Chain A
Amino acid sequence: MHTSYVLRRLLQIIPLFLAVMVLVFTLVHLIPGDPVSTLLGDRATPDIVARANKELGLDKPLLVQFGLFVNQLLHGNLGESINLKIPVLRLIGERLPVTLFLTVYAAVLGVAMAVPLAMLAAVRRNTWVDAVIRAVFQVGLSLPVFYVALQLLTLLGARLGWFPIGGYGENFGEHLFHLFLPALTLGLNLAAILVRTLRNSIIEVLTAEYVDFARAKGLRGSVIMTRHVLRNALIATVTLLGLNIGALIGGAVITETVFAIPGVGRLMVDAIFGRDYPVIQGLTLMFALIVSLVFLATDLIHARLDPRAELS
């Protein structure tokens, strides 16, 4: 049953993909500007721009260009970056792992902060502990990401020298080290969102009859907490986490810029400003694919945690 469900969900990605393809192609070609005159600025003569557009096939009717784009795609080719002159697939291959590393890292840190603190806040609800935890994350949530990023960089990077100021590093250990501050920045934001929901869910579950029953059975507090309370309380949080991971991948732009991380977020911004059509198209399709897969994974995990959830 699960296999057929997964297959069906994967097939559903195809129409989504097509819709995104049409949408992004139309949008990028509708906005004014072209890559060559944007790069050259004042020095672009009409002649130079016309010649470049011809070489790039941008002088062809939009429908023809779309046909060529789809044809390329069917051959597993996302085209070539106009500004960087290298294949979009290669670019994505170089940059995507960086963003994924950062996203997973941020999610791990976020969950690692959120779960124990939400439990503590729930168990000690309406005490000063609860108040402090909630207040700190409320403030964290309302601070802009770039501000948090810059403060972390200034304090932990420049002033104390504990962490490198930006960059990505060259091996797994260095990645962990270099990406700690950006992952913490994103993780704090994520934790702030998760703590609220998780705390409320835990409180709700703690007052449920089956928890009383478990206590009456004489189960240890830690067993009740992990097996009964947390598992049930996590259900809503997992969905929230899934939704936010999608946002994290697309929204890592500011963090990637402040921390000088060569990920896809920055690539996308550069591509949009430079009107690098193939890169914008390729990245959007990739984002759509990843977000679909994350949502699918979220539903599967949800189903696992909550056997009542029907996968249909």
Chain B
Amino acid sequence: MNVKRMSRIALSLAAALTVGQAFAATRGGQMTFGRYADSLFLDPVLNDANLDIWILTNLYDTLLQPTADGKGVQPGLASAYSLSKDGKTVSLTLRSGIKFADGSPITAADVKWSLDRARNPDNGAWVGLVGSIASVAASGNKVTVTLKKPDPSIIPALATFNTGIMPQKLFNAAPGKNDAEKAKAFAEKPIGSGPFVLSEWKRGSYMVLKRNPYYWKMGEDKKALPYLDTLRFEIIPDDNTRILKLQAGELQGAEFIPLSRVAELKKDPKINMVLFPSTKVNDIIMNNRPKLKDGSANPLSDVRVRQALNYAVNRDALIQLVTFGTGKPMKSFMSSGTPLFDPAQKGFNYDPDKAKALLKAAGFEKGLEVTSMATSGSADDQALLTALQQMWGAVGIKLKIEQLDAATKTARYRANDFQMRTGAWTDDIADPSEITGYYAVNGDTEAAHTGFTDPAIEKLFIQSQQETDKTKRAAQYRQIQTLYAAASPTIFLFETPYAVALLNNVKGFNQIPLGNNIFEATWLAK
């Protein structure tokens, strides 16, 4: 063997070793993850809360999946999909050999049944996301979804939690007279198609998920995911306790780290403090109607006053005060992580002089008084509104704060009985139509209960809901965002990330911008 050849072997060996190391995910073990509250109801279709939504896809896989950045879609239980030219038919091919967590095959019939259940108008809050489906047909490994009209959001809808695939036979075998009763029984110990399967659940205390040995997706070692044997959720409502438990090594990860603790945890050498990009926007919702519920005149019906309030907000200061430097200013009503967010949007700069001029033009040069509802006990609301009191005070606007518990606050704004309120939104689907339908369109929810309406936006939204040309749809959304900002029905504040603290040996965990916690490729380094 000559030297040259030897060195070549050595080189390739070294390369192989390096590559090997880069992909050396360790299999097995248990990860304990601290959650701030327990799940409520593990049914993909009938659940009502993020507590369920954000972990559901670990139990129920979808035909398509959101990409890691949350903006796109990749194949899931379906290995291939295509949208017909007229935008009215989605054809999907199921992967061969896919199985539920009990080893029984996932058939096209299960898929049809699951989608039909998800779009049944009697079933829960998420029907609207798949409202465009006219029928679902299944044969062999082919699933065909026929739409009533072209729907650009149908592809992301098939990657959203409520279209998770469930085993029809097992569900129907659950005790109960109807779907609702069977769902309750089934959701106590669900058998799904996701990377994990529920093994034990002590409500309010802990939940144990075991590796689904039949999961289809392959890891970097070319063996089936997930890497972890066990995923254990511990319910620890108190932020301090959750952090202490992580620091003591009793947890490997903890969610909902208060943003005030991020800087400190970043300095902890044992901890990997991660700020996952989110679709969360924090804003102030304004009542835009000429009169408030009690009949009094509402200065916020004047667009100049709403703009003035926006210009009088020093977002950089708020980001330091409320998010401890972790947030970034909102530029549009939708987050910068939402598909078709328009990067050219400018939002509002901090310009108190402009605010004063606008107020003067609106006839309020002597000032005015506004009232905002806040969630009692929320330190963030308290910090935010106190800071706004000062900022708005400087331009002659007096802000009164009304503290209410979350349920009362919700009831009040749903009855349009408010002038302002603190608000926040996170997308559930990788498509801008959900937030736009809620915030900008005067539909069921009266544009986030602002009462705002703009015929141009209404028209653009209807068009965009059927527009399958991506460029055209992006242009429509650019216009919607520009019109919305000009009309200022809400006050843009800041976007905040998901703060998750992990021990250093935790690898491959992801929380996508929609909020889903993805544990399928999580592993623990030795």
Residues of A bordering B, CB below 8 Å: 31-34, 36-49, 51-52, 55, 83-86, 91, 94-95, 150, 153-154, 157-158, 161, 164-168, 257-260, 262, 266-267, 270, 273-275
How many residues of B are in contact with the other chain, CB < 8 A? 44
Q: Is the beta-carbon distance between B411 and A37 smaller than 8 angstroms?
A: yes
Which of A44, A161, A164, A274 is B414 in contact with, Cβ under 8 Å?
A44
Which residues between 191 and 249 of chain B lie within 8 Å of chain A, taking CB atoms? 202-205, 234-238, 240-241, 244-245, 247-248
B405 proximal to A (CB < 8 A): yes
| Residue numbers in A under 8 Å from B128 (CB-CB) | 45
Given contacts A157-B248, A158-B247, list 6 more A-B pairs with CB under 8 A: A34-B411, A37-B411, A42-B445, A49-B414, A51-B122, A260-B241
B459–chain A nearest beta-carbon distance, Å: 21
Mask, B124-166, CB within 8 Å of A = 1, is 1100100000000000000000000000000000000000000
- Say yes or no: B406 contacts A273, CB within 8 Å: yes
B244 in contact with A165 (CB, 8 Å):
yes
Q: Whole-angstrom distance between the alpha carbons of A84 and B51 in the complex?
A: 12
Given A32-B407, A32-B412, A165-B248, A258:B425 Cβ within 8 A = no
By a CB distance below 8 angstroms, the chain A residues around B411 are 32-34, 37
From residue 364 to 396 of chain B, which have CB atoms closer than 8 A to chain A?
A: none
Check if B445 sits within 8 Å of A45, measured CB to CB: yes
Nearest opposing residue in chain B for A270, CB measure: B37
- B250 interface hit (Cβ, 8 Å): yes
The docked-state distance in angstroms from the alpha carbon of A274 to that of B51 is 13
- A43 contacts which chain B residues (CB < 8 A)? 125, 428, 438
Tell me, rounded to whole Å, the shortest Cβ–Cβ distance linking B81 to chain A: 26
* Residues in chain B near residue A165, CB distance under 8 A: 241, 244-245, 248, 250
Per DSSP, chain B at the interface is mixed
Q: Closest residue to A91 on the B side, CB-wise?
A: B203
B residues adjacent to A (C-beta < 8 A): 37, 40-41, 48-49, 122, 124-125, 128, 180, 184, 187-188, 202-205, 234-238, 240-241, 244-245, 247-248, 250, 405-408, 410-412, 414, 423, 425, 428, 438, 444-445, 448
- Give 9 nearest A-B pairs by CB, closest first: A33-B407, A262-B204, A45-B444, A262-B205, A32-B411, A39-B48, A260-B236, A38-B407, A33-B411
Report how far A267 CA is from B202 CA in the complex, Å: 13
From B205, B240, B406, B423, residue with most partner A Cβ within 10 Å: B205
Residues of B within 8 A of A257 (CB): 237-238
B451 shortest CB reach to chain A, Å: 14
Q: How far is the CB of B517 from chain A (nearest CB, A)?
A: 19
Residues on B with C-beta less than 8 A from A153 are: 240-241, 244
In the complex, which residues of chain B have a beta carbon less than 8 angstroms from the beta carbon of A91? 203
- Complex A-B: 30 CB contacts under 8 Å: A31-B407, A32-B407, A32-B411, A33-B410, A34-B407, A34-B411, A37-B410, A38-B407, A39-B49, A40-B48, A40-B125, A43-B428, A46-B444, A47-B444, A49-B414, A84-B41, A84-B203, A85-B187, A91-B203, A154-B244, A164-B250, A165-B248, A166-B238, A166-B245, A257-B237, A258-B241, A259-B238, A260-B234, A260-B236, A262-B235
Known: A37-B411, A44-B414, A84-B41. A157 touches B238 (CB 8 A): no
Output the least CB separation between A116 and chain B (Å): 31
- Which A residues touch B444, using CB under 8 A? 45-47
Q: How far is the CA of A167 from the CA of B244 in the complex (A)?
A: 13
Q: Are A275 and B407 in contact (CB under 8 A)?
A: yes
Would you call A38 and B244 a contact (CB within 8 A)?
Answer: no
- B48 contacts which chain A residues (CB < 8 A)? 36, 39-40, 83
Q: Which of A44, A85, A154 contacts B125 (CB 8 A)?
A: A44
Q: How far is the CA of A158 from the CA of B248 in the complex (A)?
A: 6
Q: A36-B48, A45-B444, A166-B245 are known contacts. Are A95 and B236 too (CB-CB below 8 A)? A: no
A293–B205 CA distance with the chains assembled, in angstroms: 28
When the two chains form their complex, are residues A258 and B438 in contact, meaning their CB atoms are under 8 A apart? no
Q: How far is the CB of B229 from chain A (nearest CB, A)?
A: 19
In the complex, A153 Cα to B404 Cα: how many Å?
31
